[in-house]
């Protein structure tokens, strides 16, 4: 079930909010059980059988966390390793075993059958949250005695299929101790409305431009190559940040606070800054659960430092999917981040550092979007007018003319103009704050019109 679907907007969400607030506020356990039950229903809507995969991960994590909390010494570390290994095994079987087998078959005298396994939606998100749970318990956080509470943490529907990745250390106290209010309900609704607008109005329409370009690799003009690359970069941003906004807003409607997942990445002036602003929850997860345990930057040699960065970005690329393009994308960022450290560019704040950051971000998205490495190379060459059909063509003219309003709106919305306006003092700030609910309502109504009308509604992060 998509947040941007009619069934969610007109049936699931209104019923869930209504029933939740009808339950007595003093019955926190009943409200938690209700949210857990509807979250499982939400996940089961498309593929009911995959609920059992998620339940397996939840039960294993709950069981091992309880054992870890009651154990000490070497056995405690062993239990942690087994718990994390079990979660990663489930992820490997469903997401990577086919890719792994295909590549093994390139070796001499190896010919194994390639398993055809359907990927459960959001498996990378809920397995990472399960790992966060057992690791945080190992580090001293109190394990949940109630299996239902662990289910609520891992399966909570706002962040289940597209994040942000919520760490147990940030969520634990909110399970039993949170404050719901009509004010929070309204603020969450405003945030949800803006996220829905990002997804339905901007991302879905920019997808037409991106798809037209990436389906024509090998026959692109220079202008169409750039139009498609920029269109896809904006599509990806509004797809994922829109879902993150909706998730944060939904969480707030039920009294939960999720950390921000995007912070205007298009204003970044270094690759280092970009990854502090883009998919913040994933970057911080790898920092706290992989990079720092490996030694982080507090290591004796530069070689070990670069090895740690390499491991993080190899895993980051692989996390996104079982394709060589994702690995290549991760390695590109590994090289860029190391280069910035060596050259001392990570702190640069100039217009040309912004240009190179945006260029590599857009180029990286080309690799990310391409079906294979060969296709990515062909597309990148076209962006330098190599092996193109010319500077421009009829397709580029058509898509530019047809979708220029969405491109302009996308570029404007990707900049922190609204933040700047709301930071103003005096009566101007007062007027902006009063207009904010009206603006959110207008965006929501326009987005609803797109939903009711139907049309193209892709969701990039379903693959992860």
Calculate the CA dihedral of residues 188, 193, 196, 198 and round it to 10 degrees: -110
Dihedral sign for Cα atoms in the order 369, 451, 281, 415: positive
Residue 35: name the closest of 149, 132, 190, 121 by CA: 149
Distance between CA 38 and CA 44 in Å, rounded? 10
Q: Is 320 a catalytic residue?
A: yes
Residue 161: name the closest of 129, 131, 186, 185 by CA: 129
Inter-residue contact 260 to 280 (CB < 8 Å): yes
CB neighbour list of residue 52: distance below 8 Å, 6 or more residues apart: none
Instruction: For 387, list phi and psi in degrees, rounded to 5.
Output: 60, 45
Inter-residue contact 195 to 327 (CB < 8 Å): no
Inter-residue contact 157 to 38 (CB < 8 Å): yes
The runs of H, that is alpha helices, within 177-221 are: 182-197, 204-214
Token duo for residue 182: 């009509």
Distance between CA 396 and CA 382 in Å, rounded? 13
- DSSP secondary structure letters along 372-427: SHHHHHHHHHHTTTSS-S-S--HHHHHHHHHHHHHHHHHHHHTSTHHHHHHT--TH
Q: What angle do CA 336, 338, 343 make, to 5 degrees?
A: 90
3-state helix, strand, coil split of the chain in percent (to 5) is: 75, 0, 25
Q: What angle do CA 106, 111, 112 make, to 5 degrees?
A: 110
The active-site residue, picked from 106, 279, 320, 387, is: 320
The two most distant CA atoms of the chain are separated, in Å, by: 76
Q: What angle do CA 151, 154, 159 make, to 5 degrees?
A: 130
Cβ count within 10 A of residue 181? 11
Token duo for residue 72: 């000490």
Distance between CA 61 and CA 144 in Å, rounded? 10
Instruction: For 167, list phi and psi in degrees, rounded to 5.
Output: -80, 145
Catalytic residue positions, numbered: 320
């Amino acid at each position: 079930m998509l947040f941007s679907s009619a069934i969610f907007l007109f049936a699931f969400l209104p019923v869930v909010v209504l029933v939740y607030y009808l339950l007595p506020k003093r019955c926190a356990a009943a409200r938690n059980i209700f949210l857990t039950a509807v979250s499982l229903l939400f996940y089961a809507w498309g593929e009911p059988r995959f609920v059992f995969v998620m339940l397996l991960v939840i039960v294993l994590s709950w069981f091992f966390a309880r054992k870890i909390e009651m154990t000490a010494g070497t056995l405690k570390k062993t239990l942690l390793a087994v718990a994390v290994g079990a979660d990663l095994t489930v992820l490997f079987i469903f997401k990577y075993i086919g890719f792994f087998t295909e590549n093994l078959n390139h070796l001499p005298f190896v010919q194994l059958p390639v398993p055809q396994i359907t990927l459960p939606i959001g498996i990378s998100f809920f397995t990472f949250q399960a790992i966060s749970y057992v690791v945080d318990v190992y580090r001293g956080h109190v394990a949940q005695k109630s299996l239902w509470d662990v289910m609520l943490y891992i399966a909570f529907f706002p962040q289940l299929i597209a994040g942000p990745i919520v760490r147990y250390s940030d969520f634990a106290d909110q399970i039993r101790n949170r404050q719901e209010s009509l004010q929070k309900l309204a603020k969450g609704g405003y945030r949800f409305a803006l996220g829905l607008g990002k997804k339905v109005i901007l991302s879905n329409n920019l997808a037409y431009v991106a798809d037209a370009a990436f389906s024509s690799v090998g026959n692109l003009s220079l202008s169409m190559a750039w139009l498609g690359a920029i269109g896809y970069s904006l599509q990806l941003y509004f797809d994922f940040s829109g879902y993150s906004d909706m998730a944060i807003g939904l969480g707030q409607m039920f009294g939960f606070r999720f950390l921000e997942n995007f912070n205007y990445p298009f204003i970044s002036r270094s690759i280092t800054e970009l990854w502090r602003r883009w998919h913040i929850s994933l970057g911080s997860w790898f920092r706290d659960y992989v990079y720092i345990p490996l030694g982080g930057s507090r290591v004796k040699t530069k070689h070990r430092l670069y090895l740690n960065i390499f491991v993080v970005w190899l895993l980051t690329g692989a996390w996104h999917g079982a394709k060589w393009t994702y690995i290549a994308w991760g390695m590109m960022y590994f090289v860029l981040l190391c280069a910035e450290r060596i050259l001392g560019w990570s702190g640069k704040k100039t217009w040309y550092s912004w240009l190179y950051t945006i260029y590599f971000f857009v180029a990286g998205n080309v690799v990310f979007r391409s079906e294979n490495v060969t296709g990515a190379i062909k597309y990148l060459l076209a962006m330098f007018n190599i092996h193109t059909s010319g500077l421009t063509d009829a397709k580029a003219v058509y898509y530019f003319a047809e979708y220029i309003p969405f491109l302009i709106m996308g570029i404007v919305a990707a900049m922190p103009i609204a933040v700047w306006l709301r930071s103003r003092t005096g009566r101007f700030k007062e007027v902006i704050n009063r207009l904010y609910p009206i603006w959110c309502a207008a965006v929501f109504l326009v987005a609803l019109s797109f939903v009711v009308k139907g049309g193209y509604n892709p969701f990039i992060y379903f693959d992860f």
